[in-house]
Amino acid sequence: MYPESVIQAFRRKFGEAPAIVVRAPGRINLIGEHTDYNEGFVLPAAIDRAVWFAVSPRNDQGLHFQALDLREEFQGDLKNLEKSSLGWPNYLLGCFSELLRDGHQTGGVNVVFGGDIPSGAGLSSSAAIESGMLFALNELYHLGLSRLSLARLAQRSENNFVGMNCGIMDMFASLMGHEGCALKLDCRSLQHEYIPLHVQDTAILLCDTGVKHQLVDSAYNTRRQECEEGVRLLQLIYPTVHSLRDVDMNMLQSEKNHLRAVVFQRCKYVVEENERVESACKVLKENGLPAIGSLLYASHEGLKNEYQVSCPELDFLVDHTPHSLGFFGARMVGGGFGGCTINLLKKDAVEGFQTYIALKYREKWGHDLRMWEVKITDGVGMMNDE
């Protein structure tokens, strides 16, 4: 149904074919959660769930958007970029606002977009929207921006216009993903490395709790502040520390009594999670995807007990994974407080696991568990490149 439905809706609305059609994928993250804004390491990948955009330039300054899945429309003007109370248009408006701030001129646009990334599931539908919109504008208006610049702009749009103080992982994964590869990203230098996953008989299965997270105005920003508090205090003793990236467990332990207990916990999680990403990359290269399973469980434990961004439904899903030969590991994915778990298991164990976990979940929470296997795809691109 996508992208055809988006193209058809565009024709219906604007009476002509779109000039370009862009696909912007969501992302998973194998490991490295809440490390991006601490200048640490992450290991995400773009997936075969995406937002599709049909876009044409306009002769005026008008911004005409249609959100196909929501059946809502918005009309604005480039000369008057104000936050919309509708919510969703801000993910697009922020892109224009940040381009303008950097002195890049665009004209108005007609846009229809829609896709199959479930929102609030921790798979970064919002970063896909920003990345796709910016990519389309870069193409239409020949701005000559690199994918890296687009990722930075997308992050700034979300920070400044939407008001969510996220890191760069999501946009980076959506724009820079490579088929069959995880992306090891150093969120300080933005140096990155593609690590082939050779999935073969391993499946990556997502289980969606159906619990919608609310990251804006949520504990996300509090977590950031707690990490910053830790850095400020550690700097007094270790002046070379600029972020938790520069901290190791010895340094942290030595200052334990000077940190609030909760701040110590948050910092400990981040320091250990960065170490886990490094270990995961090493293990992945040497022994393949199944071998990182135990690191996934360890990451979840930290997110649950120390960073405290999990929720009972996520914990239930992780706790009920079978410790059998065909199952390698699981953890929550994304910002937390709801959304999905990522599960690594043998392809031929998927069916049995799905039947078992769906039953258990329904018994406990009284509603169905949505599950889907994902493939690792390329990042944002034009439809004709597919």
Residues binding ligand GLA (CB under 6 A): 33-34, 36-37, 124, 166-167, 169-170, 334-335
Task: Look at residue 260 and give its three-state secondary structure.
Answer: coil
CB of 323 to ligand GLA, least distance (A): 26
Return the number of the residue (64 or 331) whose C-beta is nearest ligand GLA. Answer: 331
Instruction: Give the closest residue to 87 by CA, choosing from 56, 125, 131, 55.
Output: 125
* Residue placing its CB nearer to ligand GLA in the complex, 99 or 154: 154
Closest to 30 measured CA to CA, from 188, 164, 195: 195
Asked if residue 373 lies in contact with residue 204, where contact means CB atoms within 8 angstroms, the answer is yes
Q: What is the nearest approach in angstroms of ligand GLA to the Cβ of residue 252?
A: 20
- Contacts (Cβ under 8 Å, ≥6 apart) of 310: 300, 303, 304, 332, 336, 337
Cβ closest to ligand GLA, residue 89 vs residue 334? 334
Q: In this structure, what DSSP letter does residue 376 have? A: B
Read off the tokens for 29: 């993250």
* Closest CB 37 distance from ligand GLA, rounded Å: 6
Instruction: Give just the sign of the alpha carbon dihedral 380, 382, 384, 385.
Output: negative
For 331, the 3-state DSSP assignment is: strand
DSSP state of 157: I
Residue 330: closest CA among 354, 308, 358, 301: 301
Beta carbon of residue 201, minimum distance to ligand GLA (angstroms, whole number):
28
Encoded tokens for 359: 């039953």
CB 14 within 8 A of CB 253: no
170 a catalytic residue: yes
**Strand pairing partners for 73?**
66
Instruction: Closer to ligand GLA by CB, 98 or 170: give it.
Output: 170
> Which residues are paired to 315 by β-bridges?
none
Four-residue CA torsion sign, 344, 345, 347, 350 = negative
Measured from the CB atom, is 357 or 380 closer to ligand GLA? 380
Pick between residue 10 and residue 172 the one whose CB is nearest to ligand GLA. Answer: 172
Q: How far is the CB of 334 from ligand GLA (least distance, A)?
A: 5
Q: What are the distances in angstroms from CA 145 to CA 4, 129, 150, 194, 301?
A: 28, 17, 7, 22, 40
- Distance of closest approach, residue 205 Cβ to ligand GLA, in angstroms: 19
Output the smallest distance, CB 197 to ligand GLA, in A: 19
Q: Hey, what are 180's tokens?
A: 């069959």
Query: Pick the catalytic residue: 36, 102, 116, 170?
Result: 170
Helix (H, G, I), strand (E, B) or coil at 315: helix
Q: Where are the beta strands (DSSP E) in the chain?
A: 20-29, 41-42, 44-57, 62-67, 72-77, 109-115, 181-186, 192-196, 202-208, 327-332, 340-346, 370-373, 381-382
Q: Which is nearer to ligand GLA, 169 or 284 (CB)?
A: 169
Catalytic residue numbers?
170
